Amino acid sequence: MEKDISIVPAIEGIWKSNTITSAKDAKDKNSSNWKQVDTTSFWKIKRVIYTEHVKTKKGKDSVVYKPANYYMIELVNNHRDTTFYKFHMTLFHVNKALYADLMPVDNAGLGKSLLANESYFTVHTLARVIIKNNQLSLSWLGAEYMKEMIEKKRVRVSYKWVESAKRLLLTGTSEQLTGMIERYADELRFIDWSNQKAMLKLNRTI
């Protein structure tokens, strides 16, 4: 997946989230996919930049800035002075579509965030991303889709079943996941990105 990693400046900024309910979940009055932190927070997205202190040829102290190939997402409150949760986000293109691989930075506050608590792929979460007209749409691939493709042998991805959590834990490489996306992500009969359990639309504020 390294060769597919993308830098997308348009994704940087502060966004306000709105939930999107799938047609299936709209019929279920008891469906509650998102938690408070996910939907009431502002999403602050910024590319990670490392600083390195070096000596010039003349022996003077200098600072070198090195942009990373991934972003940091911070879920912050209305005044943006409190951070509830952080995620690393790596963007990549497959077949011209944009995807995000998100990974929690730590385990704090799991109960307050669906993304942190469920994580769909337990450690990593995979979302299709659309940026248009100052809106950012995110649709996370649900575990049931992955489970069905594995059971029907459409995709070969290393995994193990976690009985206590009743979910799949992917243990394979990013290349295996990318291969699955290349084959099936654009096929509506395999993956319906508009009908996932976890979908958000973010509106730019800054």
Complete DSSP assignment for the chain: -GGGEE--GGG-EEEEEEE---HHHHT-TT-----HHHHHSEEEEEEEEEEEEEE-TTS-EEEEEEEEEEEEEEEE-TTS--EEEEEEEEEEEETTEEEEEEEES--TTGGG-HHHHTTTBTTBEEEEEEEETTEEEEEEPPHHHHHHHHHTTSS---EEEETTTTEEEE-S-HHHHHHHHHHHTT-TTT--GGG-SEEEEEEE--
Going residue by residue through the chain, which has 206 residues, state the pLDDT in tens, using 9 for 90 and above. Answer: 577 899 999 999 999 987 766 555 545 544 445 666 677 788 999 999 999 888 888 888 888 899 999 999 988 887 777 777 888 999 999 989 999 988 878 655 445 566 655 544 445 678 999 999 999 999 988 777 777 777 776 666 777 666 665 666 666 666 777 777 888 888 888 888 988 888 889 999 98
- Taking the domains of the chain in order of start, what are their residue ranges? 2-6+13-204
pTM: 0.79
